[in-house]
Structure 1
């Protein structure tokens, strides 16, 4: 099982899954109205079509893992090659494939038992983890598309799922950076889109990260550098974390 060090079951699937669907629908409305899918996005070498092709391929991988786990290939894929292959075909076919895959994946994640583990890259996963993971990736790649089109990406309460994965990714961040794990827990205090406060970690912790939920999500998904956010840190470990923060390898 992938160990993100956080109890993601605190958000029931019947709340998280509609958020995943809504995130995909929002991006769908944006790209459906975009006249040119060949426009470059902030990801080097990736157009809007590459971004949608990548999301479609990732959804298909999850479906395979759930439906036919024996056919799932646990070796990491070449994301650039997969995206290029998907982007090479007709836009209408890619859009249809992405839409169909999103709908089938939502149904599969709704129906699979919560404690049913299925294979994933390097480990295993469950619907409890996969729903926010798919939402995070849809939001992050969607951000690339919003940026490419010069359209403001309005933050919503769905960011809480992304932020929770970001907090859970503290250990992953230090592991990937080959840095020692923090000896103390870190308190994270984020301001949500509606002005609400989202918190994780002990209230009395000396190590702290503060800022907007949007900035934190942009940082952990590597859509913005630390300097481009208003995030602040108290304590050496918290400060280091903001430099190396990530939510995926």
Structure 2
């Protein structure tokens, strides 16, 4: 059984680590560009704040969430960027306070969600645990953009397992958004955790296999690094293909990063 309390602890720890990167920045530094084209640090934090608020709305008022979705649908390809742009115009201290309030409210809302609840979302409805897993992934991924903008190397933690697990679960989604047919068989995934342990998924005798550091795999599925710049080894044509299209985040196919961009 999924431990929602443990997931929420990981979510809060991930937020706290990112908060520590930006809390002491001078306001002008929030305008620093990140590797995401057109997005500054303020855009990254604004996006996280807005998404936490929308997730809280989903958990507390499904009808209002549905209304928001209906209003956003005519702008399906732009409304996420529009929300980030609007948030980025907020003075840095206010935006930081908004993000802190929003993530605390989401924590409370998900803790209060009845067992078995399915929360409406932009794709299929999600359990509270799945919602937290997605928020962990987003905070880690957008936190990577902030760290890259600041030239900071973050210390990987066991929380990467949440991102890796979600990346594996979304394998077929990555094929779908690229208009390709998903492989029928499961892959064997073996990742080296930050503490040296091995994390594994899939049957031991699978023909299609993927091995490497957990950090590199998470950078791959969040498209924060180009596959050529990662120590991920794929064995089998399907596994090799997946390296080029892996995508854990929702929405259309991402453009990723250029090879050698962070050399």
Q: TM-score range by the shorter chain?
A: over 0.9
Counterparts of residues 112-127 of structure 1 (less than 5 Å): 112-127=113-128
Counterparts of residues 72-111 of structure 1 (less than 5 Å): 72=65, 73-74=68-69, 75=73, 76=76, 78-111=79-112
SS at match of 2:188: strand
The C-alpha deviation readout for 1:145-194, integer Å capped at 9, x for no partner, is 00000000111000000000000011101111111111321000000100
Q: Distance in 2 between matches of 1:46 and 1:63?
A: 24
- In structure 2, the gaps of 5 or more residues are 252-263
- In structure 1, the gaps of 5 or more residues are 1-8
Aligned residues: 240
* Contact 1:114 1:128 survives alignment (8 Å): no
Q: Find out whether 1:70 has 2:71 as its counterpart.
A: no
SS at match of 1:84: helix
Q: Given the alignment, which residue of 6, 12, 34 partners 1:21?
A: 12
Q: Distance in 2 between matches of 1:29 and 1:86?
A: 20
Q: Find out whether 1:32 has 2:33 as its counterpart.
A: no
Q: TM-score, normalised by structure 2?
A: 0.89
Deviation at 1:144, TM superposition (A): 0.2
Deviation at 1:114, TM superposition (A): 3.5
Q: List structure 1 runs of 4+ shifted beyond 2 angstroms.
A: 73-77
Deviation at 1:79, TM superposition (A): 1.9
* Higher RCO, 1 vs 2 (CA within 8 Å, ≥6 residues apart): 1
The equivalent of 1:166 in structure 2 is 167
Deviation at 1:126, TM superposition (A): 1.3
Counterparts of residues 41-60 of structure 1 (less than 5 Å): 41-60=34-53
Once the two structures are overlaid, the 10-residue window that deviates more, 53-62 or 88-97, is: 88-97
The C-alpha deviation readout for 1:59-102, integer Å capped at 9, x for no partner, is 00001111111011233462221111101011111111100111
SS at match of 2:130: helix
The C-alpha deviation readout for 1:30-53, integer Å capped at 9, x for no partner, is 111222111000001111011000
Q: Distance in 1 between matches of 2:81 and 2:157?
A: 29
Q: Distance in 2 between matches of 1:179 and 1:100?
A: 40
Q: Distance in 1 between matches of 2:126 and 2:207?
A: 33
Q: Distance in 2 between matches of 1:181 and 1:170?
A: 8
Q: Distance in 1 between matches of 2:169 and 2:156?
A: 20
Aligned-pair Cα RMSD in Å: 1.1
